[in-house]
Amino acid sequence: MKKILALAFCLAMAAAAAGQVPVTENAAQGRPPVKQRLFFGGSFGLQFGTVTNIEVAPLAGIWLLPRIAVGAGPSFQYYKDPFGRTAIYGGRTMLQLTVVQDLNNIIPIGLNMGIFVNGEYELLSLQRAFFMNNPESDGRFLYGSFLAGAGISQPTGKKSSMNLSFLWSVTGNEYGIYDTPEIRVEFYF
């Protein structure tokens, strides 16, 4: 039920955003070429101490419309705590809807940042022995989760930006993979 609601929410956001774009006869001519709409980036995380957590999550995407972007990429995480260690890997897809492209146009205080809502689906391969608390278990299992949230985007160049997003797991977090909220700093170029 939660997955259906999450999917309906994403589709409603996309439909509402698409309805705000004026349709003209020359709309295809005014659209930038695909090469200019592509973006790359992702996130990298390091944590050392009692708990060691190293994460690499590259991302490639395309701006479908000036306010709607989709992307996908692999994800790898090494995790070690006093009880054991594991490798988590898989992939993720994301949908981003820019609500405000430039905050300075609304509130002229010199902040040229955007505000967006974000939805992600991650499919991860988890080690049975680590997550099922059964050392006798062998192999891996797949775990899918949907995350939704919002964030801010600060331009750092002509096509680059730094995004700070706050995501919550909508479909549950029974294996404790995500913080509440999951805070991500990503760079796009």
Q: How far is CA 1 from CA 6, 98, 176, in A?
A: 9, 27, 21
Residue 72 confidence (pLDDT) = 98
Instruction: Report the length, in residues, of the chain.
Output: 189
Which residue's structure tokens are 């957590």? 53
Residue 3 confidence (pLDDT) = 52
The low-confidence residues of the chain, meaning pLDDT below 50, are 1, 4-26
DSSP 83: T
User: Distance (Å, rounded) from C-alpha 138 to C-alpha 136?
Assistant: 6
Residue 14 confidence (pLDDT) = 47
Peptide linkage before 181 cis (omega within 30 of 0): yes
Which of 102, 95, 96, 97 lies closest to 155, judged by CA?
102
Which residue's structure tokens are 């698409």? 18
Domains defined along the chain, listed by start: 2-21+37-188 (2.40.160.20)
* pTM for this entry: 0.79
Residue 29 confidence (pLDDT) = 65
Residue 134 confidence (pLDDT) = 75
Cα dihedral across residues 71, 12, 185, 31: positive or negative: positive
CB atoms closer than 10 angstroms to residue 119? 21
Residue 106 confidence (pLDDT) = 92
User: Distance (Å, rounded) from C-alpha 164 to C-alpha 181?
Assistant: 12
